[in-house]
Amino acid sequence: MGDGKKEKIYYQRGTEELKMKSIRAQKLVQEFNRSDFEEFEKKENIIRELFGSAGEGLSIEHNFHCDLGYNIHVGNNFYAGYNCTILDMAEVRIGDDCMIAPNVGIYTAGHSVEPKDRNKSGYGIPITIGNKVWIGGSCVILPGVNIGDNSIVAAGSVVTKDVPSNTIVAGNPAKILRQITE
């Protein structure tokens, strides 16, 4: 979990309200993923309907998945590669000029460590990704994490704690490799 003290948002699985929100999102995700490659305008319109907000220059490759969609907010010039999954039971805010490589998972959702009723409820903790961030292939970003502006998350990393601005992190769990300087 990130170092910032973000509030957990609790939810009950299987409620009628959550089912309806999920069905809405999954229909839009299915339509997006079934769209022909060259149907750029159609795909962008679907994502704009799905997401809470999206800037200009939006580009997401096929096999995208999310929970609800409306909790996802991306800035200008957002790119997500193939097989991106965003579990947005809480808000995910991504700044301008961000690139997400293939097979990345951004997960706001979590469950109790206690086995009793673990499968009946869960929580979400918001994730914030700053401007000009590059997330390498096959990374996982866990609930509550903040990633600062201009940072790089190296391929294969599991980010469990906040990443300061202008930093390169790598590993499982991700650790600071070095600062990015001019």
66 falls within a domain: yes
**Structural domain containing residue 62:** 9-179
Average pLDDT over residues 148-170: 98
pLDDT single digits (tens) 121-142: 899 999 999 999 999 999 999 9
Q: What is the pLDDT at residue 134?
A: 98
Within a domain: 4: no
Does residue 50 belong to any structural domain of this protein?
yes
Q: Is pLDDT above 70 for 83?
A: yes
Q: How far is CA 77 from CA 13, 98, 105, 106, 122, in A?
A: 34, 7, 19, 18, 32
93 within domain boundaries: yes
CATH code assigned at 125: 2.160.10.10
pLDDT band at 1 (very low <50, low <70, confident <90, very high): very low
Catalytic member of 62, 65, 73, 111: 111
Residues 6+ apart with CB under 8 A from 160: 1, 142, 145, 173, 174
pLDDT, position 148: 98
Taking only the tens place, the pLDDT of each residue in 16-67 is 999 999 999 999 999 999 999 999 999 999 999 999 999 999 999 999 999 9
pLDDT above 50 (res 170): yes
What pLDDT is attached to residue 4? 55
**Separation CA 25–CA 78 (nearest Å):** 20
pLDDT at 45: 97
Within a domain: 82: yes
- Whether 3 is covered by a domain: the verdict is no
- pLDDT of the residue at 112: 81
111 is catalytic: yes
pLDDT of residue 111 exceeding 90: no
Residue 1 lies in a domain: no
Q: What confidence tier does 119 reach under pLDDT thresholds 50, 70, 90?
A: confident
> How many folded domains does the chain comprise?
1
